[in-house]
Structure 1
């Protein structure tokens, strides 16, 4: 008898014994009833044991001609494949694929040709992996590896129907030089995007200034006033400047209504300019020692004296000689030798008076006993 039958017999006997004890205590049976209950309990235990005990087979299973043995587990085989190049969605950037391929040979008809199950299984796994990697960019190798873990984790029948295959320990990577190249290309694309946005921003700003703000003088004045609402007088003072700015933005001249607010440029007289005719108020570049036409067109001749007067120096000014030296230094630095000579002649002392008789250029000697003439100060 097995241990399971013994346990069941003991369990039934104990339960029935407890019931008989409870009944005897509740009904207050006589002593002979206790003995009868014990005998009945023993009979019930024996009957229960016989009922639960299985019948023995006439012949043991291991002595039969075809014993009922357990079915053997199907034979599974596996092989490791490493560093297989699989394409990505970008040309010339291939993944490096490694995995353990496991397969199971399926039943086939007796006339079926012999096969290489390892080759069929590996080819089936590579085709399944290729379908996943060809749709993914190369810089996402870690993400694609997890996708392959799920896509190749199930046993599937190959195209020939002879084997079932799956992949374990999948590894997918990108070569180091390709990763560095992709990182550089990514940085360049980001820089190009930033530069393109900056260029579009500059174009938009130029279009806003040229086509809206500086479209005409009125638009420029309104734009300036919108940014300086409390400076109305300042806007009025800048109308001429804004008119010139608006005209320059369109490569045009200032509009006639605003010409009187724009200062007119001074025109330089050239050598071929005719001297006759009314004065037009044009000026020549200033040249020391030569006559120039003044701003008011009165024909006043400008000289060193007028230059000193214009600077506010008088003949008695103590700094006039120092100012003259600085003028000479400045004129010499710019190569104006004629101006240097003119300034020096102006500040040199007058030569002694010439004698009435004698050769030209010969001066008469001073009388004997007379004092030499005092040296004049360098006065203009």
Structure 2
């Protein structure tokens, strides 16, 4: 017990003894009344002092046990050791082991009989290697830096080997991974992430296809409602939707058709709004058509522009080529003769540009009588125009 504690207990005992004496004298109590009270109050400091002594004793016992345990765990100063490096330890990736480096220490067991120094070294290294392998086998190869800290704690304590010959531990533990193996593992990790992303996108695409096939395009009515939901509910949008009812019905049928899709005259490669269709019809001379098809194929969009002035001369050449190829698809000689007659027909109707285009495509020679007027070009942007020849030129041609 310390001096301060003794002083505190003496002061408390004096106060508790004087309190009942002064109280009894002031109130005129008899001695037999205040004396037992004073004795009872004196037991309080005695109990407090006993508790302090017991606590001190327990602290001293714990301190002695702690010092004894530390002396038991701390290895003696003289002990054999060796340095090892490049020990392969497994990971969760069997093809990518880690390399262990450490200083291995051991204490031989008691008794004269036992293995020699070389075998002790081998047993200690094997014991440390087995303990390290048990830790690294549960971790990834790329996590070797974090695993090294776990090994420091696991291998830093003394542990007896399986046969009881010695106690071994390790210090300065480090793990390393080959640079090529690290690059391969990073590449595999990136590939796995990319594959997961592609799989998520495929799943998203499957969900969209399922939604379109089983809900949005289930029938014509569902297709119309789906198209209405794609824009604002305005009068113009409603009118455009009414124009597309046939196309939506066709689209719904194609979505549930198992055979190959075929183009129909009512189908188009583009859905037009009412304003676009009106503009196209005006440019085509009010014909009310917005597409041409031959054997299920649309013509070259460069020949018949929808939103620009139509090149009618190019359109006539296109139709003429299609007719020539259809009439004589295999006989080149007959096809050339027929092309020559078509070119003569264009020449007769003063369509020299069309005639020249047909002859150039089929490598036909131009008649001598037309060579003098080959520089006469007809501009058919707004319709065919015939160039009249002077009487003198007519006489020369005759």
Q: Structure 1 length as normaliser, TM-score?
A: 0.51
Residue number in structure 2 paired with 1:313? none
Offset at 1:374? Answer: 4.2
Q: 1:260 to 1:91 in 2, by over 3 A?
A: closer
CA RMSD of aligned residues (A): 4.2
After superposing on structure 2, the runs of 4+ consecutive aligned residues of structure 1 that deviate more than 6 Å are 259-268
Is residue 105–residue 162 contact of structure 1 (8 Å, CA) maintained in 2?
Answer: yes
Offset at 1:262? Answer: 7.0
Residue number in structure 2 paired with 1:208? 211
Q: 1:232 to 1:174 in 2, by over 3 A?
A: same
Q: 1:93 to 1:377 in 2, by over 3 A?
A: farther
SS of the equivalent of 1:227 reads coil
Residue number in structure 2 paired with 1:118? 121
Is residue 239–residue 261 contact of structure 1 (8 Å, CA) maintained in 2?
Answer: no
Residue number in structure 2 paired with 1:237? 243
Larger-gyration structure (1/2): 1
Identify unmatched segments of 5+ residues in structure 1: 1-71, 254-258, 269-284, 291-302, 309-319, 349-372
Q: 1:216 to 1:337 in 2, by over 3 A?
A: farther
Residue number in structure 2 paired with 1:251? 257
Residue number in structure 2 paired with 1:133? 136
- Residue 195, structure 1, aligned to residue 198, structure 2: yes
Residue number in structure 2 paired with 1:332? 359
Query: Structure 1, residues 203-257: CA drift from partner, whole Å, max 9, x if none?
Result: 222222222222221111100001122211111111011112122222379xxxx
In 2: Cα distance, 1:334 partner to 1:239 partner:
42
Offset at 1:105? Answer: 2.2
Q: 1:242 to 1:252 in 2, by over 3 A?
A: farther
Q: 1:212 to 1:153 in 2, by over 3 A?
A: same
Hey, which of these two has a bigger chunk of helix by percent?
2
Query: Structure 1, residues 252-289: CA drift from partner, whole Å, max 9, x if none?
Result: 79xxxxx9987999898xxxxxxxxxxxxxxxx9659x
Work out the number of aligned pairs and report it: 233
Q: 1:266 to 1:140 in 2, by over 3 A?
A: closer
Residue correspondence of structure 1 range 274-285 to structure 2 within 5 A: none
Q: 1:192 to 1:377 in 2, by over 3 A?
A: farther
In 2: Cα distance, 1:377 partner to 1:132 partner:
111
Offset at 1:106? Answer: 2.9
Is residue 114–residue 165 contact of structure 2 (8 Å, CA) maintained in 1?
Answer: no
In 2: Cα distance, 1:267 partner to 1:223 partner:
32
Is residue 265–residue 293 contact of structure 2 (8 Å, CA) maintained in 1?
Answer: no
Residue number in structure 1 paired with 2:165? 162
Offset at 1:377? Answer: 9.8
